[in-house]
Amino acid sequence: MTTTNKYDLNDSLRLSSAFTVDHVPTDPTEVTLEVKNPSGTTTTYLYSLAEVTRESAGNFYRDIILDDTGIWYFRFEGSGAVVAADEGQLIVERSEF
């Protein structure tokens, strides 16, 4: 599912994704989150390295600071026990102050 939302510069944002098998929350063997900032830099976070947090069965998140204005892209990807992906984009607006 792709979503677009607007945020302010330096907001803290929780990116999250839910993985299921037959509508039952299920943990993938590995969860990867890729975040691409407006400058074009992509950062990869891995659950196996404790860079992505498991909140409950099938539910994972990472908090990030939106420190650049423009369009950000993100993609959660599950592999192994659950093969699925969830991605989106968001806009960080420049402050008028």
pLDDT in tens, 49-75: 999 999 999 999 999 999 999 999 999
Global pTM value: 0.91
Amino acid at 71: I
Res. 31: pLDDT tops 70: yes
CB-CB contact of 33 with 45 (8 Å): yes
pLDDT recorded at residue 8: 95
* Angstrom distance (rounded) from CA 21 to CA 39: 36
Q: Which residue has the higher pLDDT, 96 or 39?
A: 39
We find that the CATH architecture of domain 4-93 is: Sandwich (2.60)
Q: Is 18 exposed, middle or buried (0-12, 13-18, 19+ CB in 10 A)?
A: middle
* Angstrom distance (rounded) from CA 91 to CA 7: 6
* Angstrom distance (rounded) from CA 19 to CA 29: 11
pLDDT recorded at residue 97: 77
Using 50, 70 and 90 to split pLDDT, how confident is the model at 96?
confident
* Angstrom distance (rounded) from CA 78 to CA 82: 6
